Amino acid sequence: MAATAGAAALAGDSILIAPNYPRIVRQEIALRRWPERFEGFTIALLSDFHYDPYFSQHPVHKAIAMVNSLHPDLIVLVGDFVSIPSFGVDEGQAARAAAPCAELLRQMRAHYGLWAVLGNHDFYTSPIVVSHALREQGINVLANQSVAIEAEGQRFWLGGVTDVLSGTADPQTTFEQKPAGEAAVLLAHEPDYADFVTRFDVDLQLSGHSHGGQVRFPFLPPLYLPAMARKYILGLYRIGELMLYTNPGLGTVGLPMRLNCPPEITFLTLRTARA
């Protein structure tokens, strides 16, 4: 009976409590080419919203006030605003969940705006519908594109690729306007893409996709990890000269539960690396 009660309590916590309370994780990252004018520049990183009106909307709601309390300079959203339907719903209907998701996310504020890339769930429902929903709410969507973020004569480049698993991501095209030697931050939904990105002139990659494993039992590897998220699962990594941060996401996919892997808002502070 005690074992049964304990299992029931664990299941209740992992479904009713843990998925609904995001935590803020603060991380400083030093980059060799980071412009001095942007010393201490802050980015709020969020991913994997998987919006639905029953479960994942709750951590998204809570994240809004939490992000705004941080006063980030920039907000980046690295994909999976919706979920690929499992049964009973067609892809077009699933993609329309991006509209209420975007209406919530637009309430977050940052001086340099909100920037997004799409994930595999967005691509395999309808990238056109999801992109339109985001842009309609003033959220910028990068699709193999980059922009210069400028202040007082200095700048860095913010780029975003289309979903990697779709086979359409193109970092070379993304940064074709960037002069060699200038700092670059890349948004790419799948973290394991970093091994390919090291071939390009990029300083920092920001990703999601893994959900951090979503359900993690002590002393065991995650029960499930998606393709292209089995190497760089969670947190900060260095791959050669490239820095990578993998965010575990806000929402859930499959079972609406999290265990030992809470939803996360990552608050990054970027600094100039000293010799």
Residue 223 confidence (pLDDT): 87
pLDDT the model gives residue 12 = 40
What fold, for 2-272? Answer: Purple Acid Phosphatase; chain A, domain 2 (3.60.21)
75 vs 241: CA distance, rounded Å: 24
Greater pLDDT, 241 or 7: 241
DSSP string, 242-258: EEEEE---SS-SSSS--
Answer with the residue of higher pLDDT: 230 or 256.
Answer: 230
- Determine contact, residues 143/162, Cβ cutoff 8 Å: yes
pTM: 0.93
10-65 pLDDT, tens digit each: 334 445 477 789 999 999 999 999 999 999 999 999 999 999 998 899 999 999 99
Q: Say what percent of the chain tops pLDDT 90.
A: 84
Token pair 């997004």: residue? 116
